[in-house]
Structure 1
């Protein structure tokens, strides 16, 4: 029976792609393993086409059907994804038993959003590791969350000292509903008791955070933290992305490092008011740009969404496309010299790996924490300021884009991120920090001969009800 590492992705294309790349990385490092990737499929959704990933025969895909929530269940959108995964636990249990009939499961790696699947892995006695798909710095903040909640209620304390994280004011912390805060505390408790945490980062990028994690200073129980493995940067390698909008051919005609890319992830949709401010700001900046527009309304055309005449006035310097563009290929293009980003971690790593400086525009989740680290700690980005009503004004955007692309400060940021690019390559090369961490992890897995699944006939398993 072949030794198998099972990777359980969370819901969402970004999470699935990240887990697939992790699987490929494990195989390049240790081809004796086979990889089983589990993809949750929520009700009323289409199963993702796994042929797009370009994998080899050592990777197999298994869909985990997520049943409809029980009737009368009231779930708020922020917590929905966590509950859906729990509803799929019974099907997860069955799939793991099926895999165990032909393979020896050495470990199960959970996307951290799938923390409730730990209920199944504990029952099956499978070594459980967590894959944190964001950076080490926001993980420090998450693990320290119980203390953060306590400090936030103290009037005498205006600043927070989080181990491994830049010093921040209480106002800079994103706020969450109480229901979500309780989920975060559950995640922390589960991660703290796992066999290890894998993070998509590297030492040179987040050295202080990695040190705090290794020492355990941000864990609830500092004396016995799980081992941490920083194995990044793990990013999707450009391959099957189609350039339907002709972005790459347009970039071919632009001068070197002259174009700023504006792209905000699959959920980064803006109001008509905000889109018009962006357009005016880009015109004011006088910089070349490639802008991926996602609006709250899919009905209106670009001409309706943007200021009158904008597309015609900027056609020599700018390109605007709707909804999607091949971001990895664009960031790797020689003509691109800047990136206005929502600070999703995949996008951050893609920019760092191509040496592209950033302007930060965080929108949701841990992106505000990523922004703080990028600007204050790594110093590879400039921050945008919102008005009181949450809008980024045209003047603010135009000034920051111009500063990034055409100023001494922008030049310093570019030089800094280019050094990070080199460090990222070195980390993954033989002898580098991420190479060593991944080797340590795979050796740990290879040594766990006594930790495979229990017999499928075990009464403990047959009584599991999910």
Structure 2
């Protein structure tokens, strides 16, 4: 018997790295006839319209982010608008949209509402007779690690090779304990949301994180739904001509592409060590990175004489680039990534050699990097100080050269293991089967 189409509302955390995966999932659900209403800040909405591939079924619902004292600039709507230190205030502003969200849910009458950080949504939805799903765009390894530390009496953490360095342990504890809007600790926001929701879901698959699924289900006593990888649709646009022309000047697979997402900040010394390490490799490179902290442009942070020394073989760009298309360019052979969830998926789908360089302040990237560098051995992580977490130009150069040397044992191993993962993700009906099953599980919530 054919199941009736669902109407799903979504309210992701106000960051492009969260909103975009929710839209991508919406496209997959709309392909199967389901209707989606996504709450998106008013002025941000236009920047995301191009991602909506099914406008007859997916509606972007504008929501006003209220001003919170101390949140600058005035009118800030997403994490890309504010200094990282002000992100907790942005979460407070998001919490203050609760009345707007309630009015919208009453008006829209969806069957299910998806959320990630708004821990108050499940109780609100329940009062209105709506089911709720806490949907994480990241995998399960970080959640499993956290749960294992909070519940040391429960055995069975599935991967002993995933160990945090001392500086990462300190950062992990700091992030867990930090206030993340309205006096709520970050860890409590996630825990309360998960306990109250009708279901917990992750953008992941059993073929990569199966043991972590089993572990979390055992500890939480709650079933974990998996949407699969949710691969973005292939871009129909072409690479910007100036980048295409520049990359075309180098031989196949020789260029290092290096990117760190929209929220990664480096202090000047580490910013310069990164650039000097790429210079030291002797290979052509293309870096997409924000200016170092306290600087208005990437050029202002260049090491002395750097620009002249790498002219013709190195580009450092401080703006947005078409990452998917760059990774597909035949001249690009290595991807140095911050290991963010979306970038890691694009990395695994590429045919580039992978180098993981996790910025100093992260919540989950170090777990993702460790999973693919240590457990799957599908890439190499840049070595950093155990205590201070600092890398050097030599460690950057060493990591890149180790994977780019086609004759090295490391290069051969990570290339083969990466290919295995890529073949799994791109195998026939792999993703569509996950999405179909995900839809069935959501339908089961409504019965």
Q: What's the TM-score once normalised by structure 1's chain length?
A: 0.80
Match of 2:26 in 1: 23
SS at match of 1:262: strand
Match of 2:276 in 1: 280
**Structure 2 residue 316 is the aligned partner of structure 1 residue 320:** yes
C-alpha separation between the residues in 1 aligned to 2:381 and 2:296?
32
Match of 2:391 in 1: 392
Larger relative contact order, structure 1 or 2 (CA cutoff 8 Å, min sep 6): 1
Answer yes or no: is the 8 Å Cα contact 1:142–1:188 preserved in 2.
Answer: no
Q: Note closer, same or farther for the CA distance 1:330–1:212 as it changes in structure 2 (3 Å cut).
A: same
**Structure 2 residue 402 is the aligned partner of structure 1 residue 371:** no
Q: Note closer, same or farther for the CA distance 1:233–1:254 as it changes in structure 2 (3 Å cut).
A: farther
C-alpha separation between the residues in 2 aligned to 1:261 and 1:315?
16
Q: Note closer, same or farther for the CA distance 1:130–1:237 as it changes in structure 2 (3 Å cut).
A: farther
Structure number, greater radius of gyration: 1
C-alpha separation between the residues in 2 aligned to 1:310 and 1:70?
42
Answer yes or no: is the 8 Å Cα contact 2:297–2:318 preserved in 1.
Answer: no
User: Where does 1:1-80 land on structure 2 (aligned, <5 Å)?
Assistant: 3-28=6-31, 30-31=32-33, 33-40=34-41, 47-56=45-54, 57-69=56-68, 77=86, 79-80=88-89
Q: Note closer, same or farther for the CA distance 1:71–1:278 as it changes in structure 2 (3 Å cut).
A: closer
Query: Alpha-carbon deviation of 1:334?
Result: 2.1
Residue of structure 1 aligned with 2:337, choices 341, 344, 347: 341
C-alpha separation between the residues in 2 aligned to 1:196 and 1:164?
25
Q: CA RMSD in A?
A: 3.0
Query: Alpha-carbon deviation of 1:169?
Result: 5.6
C-alpha separation between the residues in 2 aligned to 1:236 and 1:10?
22
Q: Note closer, same or farther for the CA distance 1:85–1:145 as it changes in structure 2 (3 Å cut).
A: farther
Match of 2:124 in 1: 120
Answer yes or no: is the 8 Å Cα contact 1:27–1:34 preserved in 2.
Answer: yes
Q: Note closer, same or farther for the CA distance 1:23–1:382 as it changes in structure 2 (3 Å cut).
A: same
Q: Note closer, same or farther for the CA distance 1:163–1:228 as it changes in structure 2 (3 Å cut).
A: farther
Query: Alpha-carbon deviation of 1:424?
Result: 0.3
Q: Note closer, same or farther for the CA distance 1:81–1:301 as it changes in structure 2 (3 Å cut).
A: closer
Q: Note closer, same or farther for the CA distance 1:164–1:129 as it changes in structure 2 (3 Å cut).
A: farther
C-alpha separation between the residues in 2 aligned to 1:202 and 1:397?
31
C-alpha separation between the residues in 2 aligned to 1:165 and 1:69?
43
Q: Note closer, same or farther for the CA distance 1:59–1:269 as it changes in structure 2 (3 Å cut).
A: same
Query: Alpha-carbon deviation of 1:132?
Result: 0.7
Answer yes or no: is the 8 Å Cα contact 1:138–1:366 preserved in 2.
Answer: yes
Q: Note closer, same or farther for the CA distance 1:421–1:438 as it changes in structure 2 (3 Å cut).
A: same
C-alpha separation between the residues in 2 aligned to 1:370 and 1:252?
32
Query: Alpha-carbon deviation of 1:230?
Result: 3.9
Q: Note closer, same or farther for the CA distance 1:272–1:193 as it changes in structure 2 (3 Å cut).
A: closer
C-alpha separation between the residues in 2 aligned to 1:447 and 1:167?
35
Q: Note closer, same or farther for the CA distance 1:306–1:328 as it changes in structure 2 (3 Å cut).
A: same
Query: Alpha-carbon deviation of 1:446?
Result: 4.0
For residues 180-231 of structure 1, give each alpha carbon's deviation from its aligned partner in whole angstroms, at most 9, with x where no partner exists.
Answer: 5943134224314423222222222223223334xx1242xx3xx1342242
Answer yes or no: is the 8 Å Cα contact 1:357–1:413 preserved in 2.
Answer: yes
Match of 1:238 in 2: 235
SS at match of 2:262: coil
User: What is the number of residues matched between the two proteins?
Assistant: 417
SS at match of 1:168: coil
Answer yes or no: is the 8 Å Cα contact 2:117–2:189 preserved in 1.
Answer: no
**Structure 2 residue 402 is the aligned partner of structure 1 residue 403:** yes
Q: Mind listing any 5+ residue stretches in structure 2 that lack a counterpart? A: 72-83
Answer yes or no: is the 8 Å Cα contact 2:123–2:196 preserved in 1.
Answer: no
Query: Alpha-carbon deviation of 1:68?
Result: 3.0
Answer yes or no: is the 8 Å Cα contact 1:64–1:95 preserved in 2.
Answer: no
Query: Alpha-carbon deviation of 1:402?
Result: 1.0
Q: What's the TM-score once normalised by structure 2's chain length?
A: 0.83
C-alpha separation between the residues in 2 aligned to 1:446 and 1:389?
48
User: Where does 1:183-222 land on structure 2 (aligned, <5 Å)?
Assistant: 183-213=186-216, 216-219=217-220, 222=221
Match of 1:130 in 2: 134
Query: Alpha-carbon deviation of 1:299?
Result: 3.1
Q: Note closer, same or farther for the CA distance 1:449–1:378 as it changes in structure 2 (3 Å cut).
A: closer
Answer yes or no: is the 8 Å Cα contact 1:203–1:210 preserved in 2.
Answer: yes
Match of 1:259 in 2: 255
Answer yes or no: is the 8 Å Cα contact 1:357–1:404 preserved in 2.
Answer: yes
C-alpha separation between the residues in 2 aligned to 1:212 and 1:345?
20
Q: Mind listing any 5+ residue stretches in structure 1 that lack a counterpart? A: 152-159, 451-466
Query: Alpha-carbon deviation of 1:90?
Result: 0.7
**Structure 2 residue 355 is the aligned partner of structure 1 residue 350:** no
Residue of structure 1 aligned with 2:112, choices 96, 107, 111: 107
Answer yes or no: is the 8 Å Cα contact 1:260–1:290 preserved in 2.
Answer: yes
C-alpha separation between the residues in 1 aligned to 2:40 and 2:393?
41
